[in-house]
Amino acid sequence: KNPILPTMANNDGKEICKQYAAYLAVEENVVSNMTIGVGSGSTIVYAVNKIAELYSSKKLENITCVPTSFQAEQLILEKKLPLGDLKQNWQLDISIDGADEVDTNLNCIKGGGACHLQEKMVAYCAKRFIVIADY
């Protein structure tokens, strides 16, 4: 019996759940003509992939994506999504961000914290804030 296999299965299952949660967050909350804050973390990659899929198929039009980090900016550019910044887009319709954990009081535990200030600024400027949590 290989003790690594259950871990791999659990990690694969966790990734599938993260992808599903991210896709659902986008499908239920992002529409055309929005300015979207794009957060950080592994789950956000799935959300941006879904936004890019909808944008490239013309199901989502006239959007602007405002990143919270250098990595988020690179992801937005890689997916050929319209890029904006807080200086010119200080009123966001929605911000989507990831969290490692959320407690019963909805307090979020974030990762390394390198872009924590920018994440807070983008969240503050958003009319709606969506968190996709790992746990």
Q: Which residues are catalytic?
A: 119
Q: What ranges make up the beta strands (E) of the chain?
A: 35-38, 64-67, 92-99, 101-102, 108-109, 126-133
- Residue 57, classified by CB atoms within 10 Å of its CB into exposed (0-12), middle (13-18) or buried (19+), is exposed
The Cα–Cα gap between 84 and 102 comes to 28
